[in-house]
Amino acid sequence: MSLPAIALVGLGGAAGSIARYLLAGWTLATAAPQKFPLGTFAVNVAGCLAAGLLAGLAERHPGWLSPDLRLLLFTGLLGGFTTFSAFGLETAHLLRRGEWLVAAGYAGGSLALGIAAVWIGLRVAGPP
């Protein structure tokens, strides 16, 4: 990992985090109050759409995205915006390759173990 690569990821990550904050805030400000976490939901769906569009364009136009631009956009911008987009893209790639069982294990395991890990963290660090 070179310093320029780290800088690209950091720059993209900062922009993605700001975009996440703005979109989630705008979504919550314009929607009627509700129990559903609409801001995070909108960010996750928008991030997956952006990841799919960028990956599709990169497949259709090889060479369009340089390795540096990939770092900036995928790892940095979309990673700062939402890592759910990486999860969605990786799962879609597994499905496109016909690896249904691996995709199901990845998706199910990520969801179940992710929620379990948060629950454990809350129990360990939370009030007695």
Q: pLDDT digit string (tens) for 24-47?
A: 999 989 988 888 889 999 999 999
91 located within any domain? no
Residue 40 annotated in ligand binding: no
pTM above 0.85, yes or no: no
User: Measured between alpha carbons, how far is 7 from 1 in angstroms, rounded to an integer?
Assistant: 10
3-state SS class at 36: coil
77 located within any domain? yes
Domain that holds residue 59: 3-82
41 located within any domain? yes
Residue bearing tokens 């759409």? 49
58 located within any domain? yes
Strand locations in 1-128, DSSP E? none
Task: Report the pLDDT value the prediction gives residue 36, as an integer from 0 to 100.
Answer: 86
90 located within any domain? no
102 located within any domain? no
User: Measured between alpha carbons, how far is 57 from 94 in angstroms, rounded to an integer?
Assistant: 18
Task: Report the pLDDT value the prediction gives residue 4, as an integer from 0 to 100.
Answer: 93
Integer angstrom CA distances of residue 26 from 13, 19, 39, 65: 20, 10, 8, 30
**pLDDT tens digits, 89-100:** 999 999 999 999
Residue 30 annotated in ligand binding: no
Task: Report the pLDDT value the prediction gives residue 103, as an integer from 0 to 100.
Answer: 96
Please give the tally of structural domains in the chain: 1
**pLDDT tens digits, 64-84:** 899 999 999 999 999 999 989
Q: For residue 127, give both structure tokens.
A: 């009030």
CB-count burial class (<10 Å; 0-12, 13-18, 19+) for 75: middle
Phi-psi region of 63 (alpha: psi -120 to 50; beta: other; left: phi over 0): left
| Cβ 65 vs Cβ 73: under 8 Å | yes
